[in-house]
Chains A and B, each alone.
Chain A
Amino acid sequence: MASKTQNAQLDAKKVLKAVEDQFTTLQILNEEGEVVNEAAMPDLSDEQLQELMRRMVYTRILDQRSISLNRQGRLGFYAPTAGQEASQLASQFALEKEDFILPGYRDVPPIVWHGLPLYQAFLWSRGHLAGGQIPDGVNVAIPQIIIGAQYVQTAGVALGFKKRGIKAVALTYTGDGGTSQGDFYEGMNFAGAYNAPAIFIAQNNRFAISTPVEKQTAAKTLAQKAVAAGIAGIQVDGMDPLAVYAAVRDARERAINGEGPTFIETLTYRYGPHTMAGDDPTRYRTAELDNEWEKKDPLVRFRKFLEKKGLWNEEKENEVIEQAKEEIKDALKQADAAPKQKVTDLMNITYTDMPDSLKEQYEIYSAKESK
C-alpha cells in the first residue's frame, strides 16, 4: 500500500492548456464588416461574393416563410435556420457539385443550394415519399433525424470516393449536442484511420434544444475533439461567411490531395426555437444573449462589407427578396400538386420485391383506397 503521495506524473492543467491554446477562432470579417485578417481572405470574385450574399438573403426569407407555413399547417417538420446562414451556406459554397453533403435535420438549405429542388424539401418536411427521391446528379443525403448518425456515414461516403479514385469530398453537419454522440467520434476516427476525404462540421449554436454547450462537454472548444481522432481541427467564427468559406475550401483542398479529413467548429447561433414543435427558447436563453448574438449577424456584416465595395445595395437586396418569395410560392404549388400519399405507395417501396405477406396486405389497402 502506498502511503506517500508520489510526485505527479502528469501536469493535467498544462496538458489541457496546450491543447486549448491551439484552437483560436478564425475570423476574417468582424461584426462591422471590416476585414481583420487579410492573409486569410479567400480567392472569390465579385460575382461569387454577390452570389453568396444573394443566397444568404434568400435563405433568411425561406426561413421566415417556412415558419409561417408551418404555423398555417402547410409545412410539416421544420427546424429554423436564421442566424446560421454563414455556417450553412458558405460551407456549401466552398464545395463543388461532385462533393457529397450529409445534412442533419436543420441543414435543409445547404442541400437545396447543392441541388435538391425546393419543392422536394417541402415534400420531405410534409413526410411525402417524393421528397426523398433525390434527382440523379444531386449529391446529397436526406436530412438525418438521429443525431450524429450522418457522421459515421460520411466516413463511408468519403472512403467510397477514395476507393473509386474520385477527387471529391464528403461533408457533414451536426450541432454542438451532436458532438456528444458516440457516432461523432466513430465517424471522425474512421475517416482518420482510412485517410478518407471528409469534412466534419459542428455548428456550435450553443444550445442542444435547452442544454448549453458548457453542460455538453468539459472541452473548452469543440474543435479540439479532432485531436483525439488524429485529424486536423479548426474553430471558425460561424457568423463570418468568409471565414467559414476559407476554412472549408482549405479543408477540401487538403482532403482531395490525400491529406485527410478535417473537423471544423463554427461558432454560431439559432435565433429561433429548436423546431416548430413547441420549443420555447425563453425557458433556457436570456434576451441579453439573443441580442448579443444578433449583433454578430452574418447578413448584416456581409452586407456592410459588400456595400463598401460597391457590390450590394438596397435595390439588389429587394430584388432577391422578391425572387425568393416568388420561387417559394412556386415550389409550394409544385409540392401541393404531388399526389396524396397512400399506404400502398409505402408498401411498394418497402422492399425491392414485395414479399407475399405484404402483397396480401396490399390487396386489402388497395381496395380501401379505391373506395
Chain B
Amino acid sequence: MAQMTMIQAITDAMRVELKNDPNVLVFGEDVGVNGGVFRATEGLQNEFGEDRVFDTPLAESGIGGLAVGLALQGFRPVPEIQFFGFVYEVMDSISGQAARLRFRTGGKFSAPITFRSPFGGGVHTPDMHADSLEGLMAQQPGVKVVIPSTPYDAKGLLISSIRDNDPVIFLEHMKLYRSFRQEVPEGEYTIPLGKADVKREGTDISIVTYGAMVHESLKAAEELAKEGFSAEVIDLRTVSPIDIETIIASVEKTGRAIVVQEAQKQAGIAANVVAEINDRAILSLDAPVLRVAAPDTIYPFPQAEAAWLPNYKDVIETAKKVLTF
C-alpha cells in the first residue's frame, strides 16, 4: 500500500476508472496539460490521451451541458468544476437537466455524471471559491452529494461515484487536499455511497459531521475524553442521501447528539440531520440536538476567515451544553 494525500488518492481513483471503463471521460478547465489548478488530474492526459482527458473552453454551463450530452451518448463523464463557487453558472445543467433525466424519460435514461469540484474554507481563496454549497445541492432530488474527509475514503467514494448510474456531486475540501497522508490500497476498491462511517466510537454523545469538520470533531472528541466524556464521531461521507440508520443507532446508544457543519447555519445538511433524529429517535434523547455551524453571512474571504469558520473549540463548547443539559 502507498501513502497518499487526498488529492493523490483522487487522481488515482480517476486513473483506475479511466483504465477500467473506456466510456469514462475526464474534462474541464485546465485539466489537461496543466493537470488541473490543484493538480488533481496530473499526468492523466499523458497516460490516457487527449481523447479521454481534455481541456474545455472556459464555460461552466458548457461543461455541464457537454456532460449531459455525452451521457446521452453512453459515456460516463467526470467533469471538473474548477471551484464549487462557480456552480451557479452550471446549476441548470446539474439540477435542471442531469438530475431530471430519469424523470423526463420515465426512468429509461440516466445521467451517470460525476461532477468533481474543490470547495471549503481556510485556504485564503478569493470570493466565490470557498463556500460550502452542499446544502443547496442536497435540496435537489435525483443527485447524490458526496464529501470525503480522508484519502482512503476519497478514492473508494470517487470510484463508486463514477460507477454510480445517477449524477453525483463529489466535493473535495481544499484544506484536506494535502493536509495529511494515509495508507491507500493500490488498484480498485469501493466505498458504498449513502453509508456513513463511525470515525471514533463513543458512548456519551454522537457528533454527526462531514468534510473538514470531521477532523475538528475528532480533535474535540480527544479533548472531551480528557474530561471524561466519550464522544462518537460519525462521518456522513454522503450528505445526500444521508445514512439515517447509522445516525439513529448511534443516538439510541448515546442519547445525545450535535451536528457539525462548515456551512452557514441557515437551512443546510445539519438542519436535515436534526430533523431526522427528532423524527425517529426523540424518545431516546436526553437533551436537545444542537448544531455547530458558521454564522449566516456571506463567506468572508480571507480576512475574518479564521474567526468565522467553526473549529474544535466550538464543537467542545456545544457538546458540553448537550452533555450537561
Chain A interface residues (CB < 8 Å from chain B): 76-77, 105, 126-129, 145-147, 177-178, 180-182, 208-211, 215-217, 277-279, 283-284, 340-343, 345-347, 350, 357-358, 361, 365, 368-369
Contact = CB atoms under 8 A, between A and B. Distances in A.
B21 interface: no
A279 B127 CA distance: 18
Interface string B68-100: 000000000000000001101100000000000
Contacts of A346: 295, 297-298, 300, 304, 308
A341 B85 CA distance: 22
B260 to A, nearest CB: 16
B30 A127 contact: no
Nearest to A180: B57
Contact of B30 (A210, A345, A365): A210
Nearest to A174: B58
Interface string B273-303: 0000000000000000000000111101111
Contact of A177 (B58, B125, B129): B58
Contact of B59 (A182, A209, A279, A361): A182
Contacts of A217: 57
20 contacts: A76-B126, A126-B303, A127-B126, A127-B302, A127-B305, A177-B58, A180-B58, A182-B59, A208-B29, A209-B29, A209-B30, A211-B32, A215-B57, A216-B57, A217-B57, A283-B33, A343-B297, A345-B304, A346-B295, A347-B297
Q: How large is the interface on B (under 10, 10 to 19, 20 to 34, 35 or more residues)?
A: 35 or more
B296 A105 contact: no
Contacts of A361: 265, 295-296
B124 A76 contact: yes
A345 B89 CA distance: 29
Given A147-B58, A182-B59, A211-B58, A342 B127 contact: no
B37, B57, B265, B305: most-surrounded residue (chain A CB, <10 A): B57
B304 A341 contact: yes
Contacts of A278: 37
Contact of A358 (B57, B59, B296): B296
B34 interface: yes
B127 A145 contact: yes
Contacts of A340: 303
A146 B86 CA distance: 7
Contact of B58 (A127, A181, A277, A368): A181
Nearest to B65: A182
Interface string B127-150: 111000000000000000000000
A343 B30 contact: no
A340 B302 CA distance: 12
